[in-house]
Amino acid sequence: MYPKLLNWKKLTRLQRKGLFILSWVLFSWVSCSIHLVAWAENQTSNDRKSEVQIHFISVEKDPPNRGTPPAKEGTGSRGNCIYKEDMPPLTRVVGDSQLKLTTKGYPTFWVYLPYTSQEATNGEFSLQDGDSEIFRIRFQLPAKSGIVGISLPSTIPALVVGKEYRWYFDINCSASVFSGDSPTPASVTGLVQRISISAELERELKTAKTPLEQIVAYAKHGIWYETVTELAQLRLQEPNNSTFKKVWIELLTTENIGLKKVSQEPIVGNITLEVSKMISE
């Protein structure tokens, strides 16, 4: 009924050698097959990643008459602190339209900074609720220029759902490198509004299989701050990842975003904020 097991001791030397070769061939074939399947799955995954496209929806234009005039690029009576012909000016990373939505109580704000710690004495970041300033802090610039982020510290109250805030990013130039009577701060400003996560977005975030799929979900629902922050973090974690770089450039160069000038600039990372340097009125 059952096949008899081979008696290894009764096999001739030639038979043993033949079985050994056959076993080795079978093992090699199985190993190769497993490797090819794994490679094919990896290639499919990589192809899927490379095909990821983020389609972001604009929210609204920056409304007028909200204190300091809205500015996509640095402002000041003398222009930017230091004019650099080969570099973009100070630029807020919120696009041509005022992309302002976040689901976080403590979001991160991104700005392209053409100045370094050797060219500017310091910078200031502030957050306002209407006419009331709720947070302002002075910080040191990084050693190299590029796109930087500032995250709100947990030591202040979280953003309130439904309320709109205005933020300011100001740079104080060094008098020693400024060609004029006195240094003039360069400044950009933007809006931020916290909203609740919808049931649909929450479901899409939970079912997303990769960080990129989560970013696509945020973009689909017009959540700018998480879209750009999550993608920037991926690029900082894997600076040589061509897929992440491609998606980043495609996002910033989208027509309704309008950040082509800074799309190729390096991402420096978050600026370290010292609570001791918070400025109180």
How do residues 147-163 score in pLDDT, each as one tens digit? 999 999 999 999 999 99
Mean residue pLDDT of the chain comes to 78
Exposure of 206 in the CB half-sphere (CA atoms within 13 A): 7
The predicted model gives 103-118 an average pLDDT of 94
Contact 225, 240 (CB under 8 A): no
Domain coordinates in residue numbering, the chain = 71-277
Contact 232, 149 (CB under 8 A): yes
Query: pLDDT of 170-212, one tens digit each?
Result: 998 876 555 555 566 689 999 999 999 999 999 999 999 999 9
- Domain 71-277 carries which CATH code? 2.60.40.1930
Higher pLDDT pick, 57 / 104? 104
The predicted model gives 208-232 an average pLDDT of 95
CA 245 from chain centre, in angstroms, equals 10
Six token digits for residue 247: 């998606």
**Which residue stretches of 167-223 are H helix?**
199-207, 211-220
Six token digits for residue 222: 């017009």
The predicted model gives 29-36 an average pLDDT of 34
What was the pLDDT predicted at 40?
31
What was the pLDDT predicted at 65?
42
Across 42-46, 95-99, 104-108, least confident range: 42-46
Higher pLDDT pick, 246 / 42? 246
Q: Return the ∠ at Cα 35 (arms to 30 and 36), rounded to 5°.
A: 100
Measured CA distances, 21 to 3, 4, 7, 15, 173 (Å) = 22, 21, 17, 10, 77
**Cα distance from N-terminal residue to C-terminal residue, the chain:** 94
Query: pLDDT of 186-197, one tens digit each?
Result: 899 999 999 999
Six token digits for residue 107: 């979001």
Dihedral sign of CA atoms 112, 117, 120, 121 in order: positive
Highest mean pLDDT among 20-24, 126-130, 183-187: 126-130
Contact 83, 179 (CB under 8 A): no
Which three-class secondary structure state does DSSP give residue 69?
Answer: coil
Highest mean pLDDT among 6-10, 85-89, 190-194: 190-194
What was the pLDDT predicted at 28?
43
| Strand-strand pairing, 91-92 and 108-113 | antiparallel
Helix axes 224-237, 242-252, angle to 10 degrees: 150
